[in-house]
Amino acid sequence: MTITADGLTKRYGGVTALSKVSFSVPAGAFFAVVGPSGCGKSTLFRLVAGLEHPDAGKILLNGEDVSGADAFVPPEERRVGVVFQSYALWPHMTVEGNVAFPYEARGLSKDQAKAAALAHIRTVALEPLKDRRPDALSGGQRQRVALARCLAGEAKTILMDEPLANLDPHLRSEMEAELKSFHTRTGVTTLYITHDQREAMALADVMAVMDQGRFLQMGPPREIFERPSTAKVARFIGRGTVLKTVVAARSANIGALRVPVTARENMDGPAEILVRPRDISLGNEGLRARVIAVHYRGGVWEAQAEAEGVSELLEIDSRAPLSAGETLHLAVANAWVIPD
């Protein structure tokens, strides 16, 4: 199911939670929306789910306007499945009972509903556990039950609002893998809301970065990481340093270093550039810098360095130990010229 928003706007009193948001997500995509707390992600989610009416603009599901003043389609008729953080499973029902529930609600007999549920229970590989209740399942298994129940509800789109928030990192990566394989197997269009850019990047085919009710940029995760369109996106996604400089002939100065730059088009003149740690190498030659702070991240030392003639701290990575106060020499292989 395609999801399209056209000028979508939502206000709460004096607060504009969503401001003229337009986008189009192809059927079968995993679309992650990421942004800081309060930027309007949940508002977007509730509008697509049909839990709220927009003040202006519209939402089209598979080309059908579902949100117009005359055409408002209620949530239960949108064929949109919703997965929240808690998964909201029925605690007194088994896995089978939970997944069969949408069929029973549509009038199938208990046996028919169970038979229909089985296909979805198999899709999420829970057949051996179908007689268990949710409290006897792991978090990942509960998530799979919630997804299977969406399929039983004939969801053509699944909406997820921070389903992995508050999980410990180990469980979180297991759940991410589950979500990814569920999506690959079913091809259900997914709208995934998160404040965690790392999670969005790992899961999405296409992601959007939001701030203050607007979409700053939308595209494949790699495009957003490598070619951010604004300094805000560059600072929000991944580590790196945004610097003011002057671009000429596809190169720019970082301190006394002349560095090749990549740009969308010829952008000679004053500009902001983004330097990622992976483009900075540490050696015996180059820009003199002093390490200010170091964090050890399992195999990699992430640090900030004050470089001669550079006003911002440079984010650097090292596979060899670094310590605060030591002096280094940096070479920069490339930087991205931020278009806006």
Minimum gap (Å) between residue 37 Cβ and ligand ADP:
4
As given in the structure block, the two tokens for residue 258 are: 């002349």
Q: How far is the CB of 200 from ligand ADP (least distance, A)?
A: 13
Indicate the burial class of 17 (C-beta count within 10 angstroms; 0-12, 13-18, 19 or more): buried
Q: Which of 43, 190, 229, 318 binds ligand ADP (CB under 6 A)?
A: 43
Which residue from 37, 86, 184, 323 is in contact with ligand ADP, where contact means CB under 6 A? 37
Verify binding: residue 323, ligand ADP, rule CB under 6 A: no
Residue 17 contacts ligand ADP per CB under 6 A: yes
Residue 165 in the binding site for ligand ADP (CB under 6 A) = no
Structure-token pair, residue 107: 């009038």
CA angle in degrees (0–180, nearest 5) for 76-134-34: 55
84 binds ligand ADP (CB under 6 A): no
Helix (H) or strand (E) holding 97: helix 95-105
Q: 133 in helix, strand or coil? A: coil
If binding is defined by CB under 6 A, does position 20 make contact with ligand ADP? Answer: no
Taking the mean position of all CA atoms in its chain, how far away is CA 231?
18
With CB under 6 A as the contact rule, the residue among 40, 153, 163, 286 that binds ligand ADP is 40
Q: Can residue 296 be called a binding residue for ligand ADP (CB under 6 A)?
A: no
Separation CA 41–CA 45 (nearest Å)? 6
Q: Which is nearer to ligand ADP, 216 or 294 (CB)?
A: 216
Identify which of residues 21 and 259 has a Cβ nearer to ligand ADP in the complex: 21
Asked if 19 interacts with ligand ADP (CB under 6 A), we say no
Nearest to 78 by CA among 90, 92, 64, 88: 64
Cβ-based nearer residue to ligand ADP, 37 or 323: 37
Concatenate the DSSP letters of all residues of 134-193 into one string.
GGGS-HHHHHHHHHHHHHHTT-SEEEEESTTTT--HHHHHHHHHHHHHHHHHH--EEEEE
Stretch of 38-46, 67-75, 264-272, 316-324 contacting ligand ADP, by CB under 6 A: 38-46
Residue type, 211: D
Of 195, 202, 201, 188, the C-alpha closest to 162 is 195
Residues in contact with ligand ADP, total (CB under 6 A)?
11
Q: Is 130 among the residues that bind ligand ADP (CB under 6 A)?
A: no
Q: Which of 12, 72, 90, 296 binds ligand ADP (CB under 6 A)?
A: 12
* Nearer CB in complex with ligand ADP: 50/255: 50
Looking at 9-17, 56-64, 270-278, 300-308, which segment touches ligand ADP (CB under 6 A)? 9-17
How many CB atoms neighbour CB 178 within 10 A? Answer: 19
Q: Which residues bind to ligand ADP, rule: CB under 6 A?
A: 12, 15, 17, 35, 37-43
